[in-house]
């Protein structure tokens, strides 16, 4: 046992002597290099300890959050959802009101002297909402000031209405009469 201890001590002395000779041979650049290596090793050891501490802290926080009751957040989400549902209910007419809305659209056109020739429509659900989009394709005939006044009036009067497209061309030889293809969307509540 004493022989192994003595051999280990001799090995350390020999290694120490060899390192001193290498350091003298490397000069100041070698000394700076060795210093940087020592600093990097020390920094790595310190950073590992910090990272381990942070990891344990995050694990404890996660465990605490997993045990925490979800009622406060769920209540807030429910109240937000209820507010959103109230908004949809108050802001958009139900499907049952669609004929009355179309009647208002036709009456406003007639009042402005705009002729609606026919209406083609398509109903699609509006993604991520309880609404349905009713797209109306309306070929209309009239002069520009009357068509403009009609569109302005219905868009102000019916905020659930959106203008999606407008195509205007002059009708034959009549300079003031326009053939207009208008695409409107009416948003209605899906379940009412």
Segments making up each domain of the chain, as ranges? 1-68, 93-189
- Is the pLDDT reported for residue 130 higher than 50? yes
- Is the pLDDT reported for residue 25 higher than 90? no
Two structure tokens written together for 180: 């207009």
Q: What is the mean pLDDT of residues 103-130?
A: 92
Q: Which of 119, 41, 126 is nearest to 88 (CA)?
A: 126
- pLDDT, tens only, 33-51: 777 887 777 777 777 777 8
Q: What is the mean pLDDT of residues 49-59?
A: 83
Select from 3.40.50.2000, 3.30.70.60, 1.20.970.10, 3.30.450.20 the CATH code of 93-189: 3.30.70.60
Mean pLDDT is highest, among 66-70, 74-78, 186-190, for 186-190
């Amino acid at each position: 046992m004493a022989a192994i201890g003595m051999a280990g001590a001799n090995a350390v002395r020999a290694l120490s002597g060899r390192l001193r000779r290498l350091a003298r041979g490397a000069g100041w650049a070698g000394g700076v290099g060795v210093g940087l290596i020592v600093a990097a090793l020390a920094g790595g050891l310190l950073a590992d300890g910090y990272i381990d501490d942070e990891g344990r802290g995050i694990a404890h926080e996660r465990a605490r959050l997993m045990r925490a009751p979800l009622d406060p957040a769920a209540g807030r989400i429910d109240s937000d959802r209820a507010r959103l549902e109230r908004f949809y209910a108050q802001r958009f007419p139900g499907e049952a009101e669609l004929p009355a809305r179309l009647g208002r659209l036709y009456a406003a056109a007639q009042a402005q002297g705009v002729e609606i020739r026919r209406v083609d429509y398509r109903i699609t659900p509006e993604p991520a909402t309880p609404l349905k989009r009713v797209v109306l394709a309306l070929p209309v005939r009239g002069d520009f000031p009357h068509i403009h006044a009609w569109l302005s009036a219905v868009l102000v009067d019916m905020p659930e209405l959106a203008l999606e497209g407008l195509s205007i061309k002059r009708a034959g030889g009549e300079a003031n009469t326009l053939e207009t293809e208008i695409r409107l969307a009416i948003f209605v509540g899906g379940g009412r």
